[in-house]
Chains A and B, each alone.
Chain A
Amino acid sequence: MNPEASDSWEAYDRPELRRGRLIIDGDRASAEFAIDGIHCGGCALRIERTLAAIAGVDSVSVNGATHRMRVSWDLAREPLSHLLRAVADLGYTPHLLSDATAGSADRDSQERRTALKRLAVAGIGMAQVMSFAFALYAGVAYGIEPNIERYLRLVSLLVSIPVVFYSSAPFFRSAYLDVRQRRPGMDVPVALAIGLAFAASTFNTLRGQGGVYFDSVTMFAFFLLLGRYIELQTRHRRGNLSDALARLIPDTVHRVGDRGVETVPRIEVRVGDRLRALPGAPIAADGRIVAGKTTVDESLLTGESMPLPRKQGDSVIGGSLNLGNPVDIEVTALGSNTVLAHVVRLLARAQAERPRLGKVADKAAGWFVAATLILAVGTAAFWLHFDPARAFAATLAVLVVTCPCALSLATPVAVAAATARLARNGLLITHPDTVEALASVRRCVFDKTGTLTVGAPQLRCATASGSVPLERCLALAAALEQHSEHPLAAAFSATAPLVVAENVRSVRGRGIEGEVNGRRYRIGRPDFVQELAPGYAAIAGGEGGDFFLGDESGTLAAFQVDDSLRPSAVLAIQQLRALNVEVEIASGDGPVPVGRVAKRLGVAAWRARLTPAAKMTHIRSLNHAHGGVMMIGDGINDAPVLGAARISVAMSAGSALAQVSADSVLMSVDLTIIPEAVRMARRTVQVIRQNLAWAAIYNLLAVPLAATAILPPWGAAIGMSASSIIVVLNACRLDRSARACDKSSLGVSSGPVSIPASASST
Chain B
Amino acid sequence: MNILFVLIPLGIGMAAVSVWAFFWAVDNGQFDDLETPATRVLDDETERPRD
Contact = CB atoms under 8 A, between A and B. Distances in A.
Given A53-B48, A117-B22, A158 B36 contact: no
Interface in B4-51: 4-5, 8-9, 11-12, 15, 18-19, 22-23, 26-27, 29, 31-40, 42-43, 45, 48-49, 51
Nearest to B8: A155
Interface of B: 1, 4-5, 8-9, 11-12, 15, 18-19, 22-23, 26-27, 29, 31-40, 42-43, 45, 48-49, 51
Interface residues of A, number: 36
Nearest 3 CB-CB pairings of A with B: A41-B39, A41-B36, A64-B36
Nearest to A125: B15
A41 B32 contact: no
Interface string A134-161: 0000000000010010011001001100
Given A62-B36, A120-B22, 9 more contacts: A41-B39, A42-B43, A63-B32, A64-B36, A66-B33, A116-B31, A117-B22, A117-B26, A124-B18
A41 B40 contact: yes
A41 B18 contact: no
Contacts of B49: 52-53
A151 B5 contact: yes
Contacts of B27: 113
Contact of A45 (B8, B18, B36): B36
B40 A45 contact: yes
A151 B4 contact: yes
Contact of A63 (B15, B19, B33, B39): B33
B10 to A, nearest CB: 11
A733 interface: no
Contacts of A377: none
Contact of B15 (A49, A124, A151): A124
Contacts of B38: 41
Given A53-B48, A55-B51, A128-B11, A116 B36 contact: no
B23 to A, nearest CB: 6
Contacts of A55: 51
Interface string A637-649: 0000000000000
A61 interface: yes
B37 to A, nearest CB: 7
Contacts of B19: 120-121, 124, 162
Given A148-B1, A159-B12, A40 B26 contact: no
Interface in A399-447: none
Q: Determine the main DSSP class of B at the interface with A.
A: helix
Interface in A102-145: 109, 112-113, 116-117, 120-121, 124-125, 127-128, 131-132, 145
Given A64-B35, A109-B32, A49 B45 contact: yes
B36 to A, nearest CB: 4
B17 to A, nearest CB: 10
A44 interface: yes
A65 interface: yes
Given A45-B39, A63-B33, A158 B12 contact: yes
Nearest to B45: A49
A49 B29 CA distance: 19
Given A42-B43, A124-B19, A159-B12, A61 B29 contact: yes
Among the interface residues A41, A63, A65, which one has the most CB atoms of the partner chain B within 10 A?
A41
A16 B19 CA distance: 46
A121 B16 CA distance: 9
